């Protein structure tokens, strides 16, 4: 309680606002508490990640841009990451938080390998692990500022899952984060849903490529350079960066872009 403190109209100890500060007894004051910064906003960010199920497993795509606000700061950052031989994760949001998670996962995979029992983490286990880490961090009000897609194949069963900075999780046969959830996801759903088990690889690749093209035209924080990861029974394969050729001649005809004709 605050007995003996000077009376102050701005601090009404019998009111709920402003919240009355209680005197500290017993607790040593942490001089460094104010020096600890928690992530309150992302700094260097990646934009959308897309993923779909297809005949042989799952496919995931993300461009190679890491933005600093509206500045295209790093143009060759890999946002797809293999976890063991059966899983791949794709990250949007804060890239330093993602790199921290990569370290965490690599350590986890190593620990699992060192056990020497022949067991490896399945995609749904990696997803659960990430969900617990992200939920625990949000519960400490110190979130890892990411939206992640987790995909993989284990024992012939494909898996696709989402997890974000709040610890929210879900699974579906088509997934997208950020801007992609608004622009690309409807295209992916139309192309993939009900055909997950029959969709051939080249068509899956075409669907993702075209969706990445649409995103590049509409998302100002995207790049026409991206990677596609494929996970099948044979393992994880992350492609070299693919560069899309783009055409802007149509802009000439749009009032406000090209030369004004009237």
Partner 1 sequence: MPDGSFSHPQERQFNPYTENGGTILAIAGADFSVVAGDTRQSEGYSIQTRYAPKVFRLTDRAVLAVNGFAADGNMFVKKVKQRLEWYRHAHAKDMPLRAIARLIQTMLYAQRFFPYYVYNILGGIEEDGTGAVYSFDPVGSYEREACRAAGAAQALVQPFLDNQIYFKNQQAPVGSSHPVHLPLQDVLSIVIDSFTSATERHIEVGDGLEIYVIVAKGRSPQGLESIRNVQELSTNPEGDRVFVIRRELKKD
215 in Cβ contact with 183 (< 8 Å):
yes
39: annotated active-site residue: yes
**Could you tell me the smallest distance in angstroms from the CB atom of residue 69 to partner 1?**
16
Residue count, binding to partner 1 (CB under 8 A): 25
Q: Which residues, in sequence order, are bridge partners of residue 171?
A: 161
Q: Is residue 214 within the footprint of partner 1 (CB under 8 A)?
A: no
Three-point CA angle 88, 91, 94, nearest 5°: 150
Asked whether position 33 contacts partner 1 by CB under 8 A, the answer is no
Q: What 3-state DSSP class applies to 213? A: helix
Q: Is 167 a residue that touches partner 1 (CB under 8 A)?
A: yes
CA distance 108 to 102: 10
**Euclidean distance between CA atoms 95 and 47, whole angstroms:** 10
Q: Nearest distance from residue 16's CB to partner 1, in Å?
A: 14
Output the CA angle 127-61-155, nearest 5 degrees. 45
Residue 27 is given by DSSP the state: P
Question: Is the bond preceding residue 103 a cis peptide, omega within 30 degrees?
Answer: no
Taking CB under 8 A as the binding criterion, the range among 3-11, 52-60, 69-77, 148-156 that sits at the site for partner 1 is: 3-11
Residue of 4, 18, 35, 253 that binds partner 1 (CB under 8 A): 18
Binding of partner 1 at residue 92 (CB under 8 A)? no
- Site residues for partner 1, 112-141, by CB under 8 A, read 131, 135, 138-139, 141
Q: Assess 10 for contact with partner 1 (CB under 8 A).
A: yes
User: Which residues here bind partner 1, judged by CB under 8 A?
Assistant: 8-11, 18, 38-40, 131, 135, 138-139, 141, 143, 162, 166-172, 181-182, 185
Name the residues annotated as catalytic. 39
């Amino acid at each position: 309680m605050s007995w003996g403190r000077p009376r102050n109209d701005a601090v009404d100890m019998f009111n709920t606002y402003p919240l009355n500060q209680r005197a500290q007894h017993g607790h040593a004051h942490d001089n460094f508490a104010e020096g600890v910064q928690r992530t309150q906003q992302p700094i260097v960010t990646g934009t959308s990640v897309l993923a779909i199920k297809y005949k042989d497993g799952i496919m995931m795509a993300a461009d190679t841009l890491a933005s600093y606000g509206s500045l295209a700061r790093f143009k060759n950052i890999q946002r797809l990451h293999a976890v063991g031989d059966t899983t791949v994760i794709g990250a949007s949001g804060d890239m330093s938080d993602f790199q921290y998670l990569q370290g965490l996962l690599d350590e986890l995979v190593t620990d699992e390998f060192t056990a020497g029992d022949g067991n490896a983490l399945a995609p749904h286990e990696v997803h659960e692990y990430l969900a617990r880490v992200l939920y625990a961090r949000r519960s400490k009000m110190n979130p890892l500022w990411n939206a992640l897609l987790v995909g993989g194949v284990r024992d012939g069963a494909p898996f696709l899952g989402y997890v974000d900075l709040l610890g929210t999780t879900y699974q579906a046969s088509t997934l997208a984060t950020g801007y992609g959830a608004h622009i690309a996801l409807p295209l992916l759903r139309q192309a993939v849903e009900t055909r997950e088990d029959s969709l051939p690889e080249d068509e899956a690749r075409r669907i993702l490529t075209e969706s990445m093209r649409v995103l590049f035209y509409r998302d100002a924080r995207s790049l026409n350079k991206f990677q596609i990861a494929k996970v099948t029974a044979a393992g994880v394969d992350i492609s070299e960066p693919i560069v899309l050729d783009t055409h802007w001649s149509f802009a000439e005809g749009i009032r406000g872009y090209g030369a004004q004709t009237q």
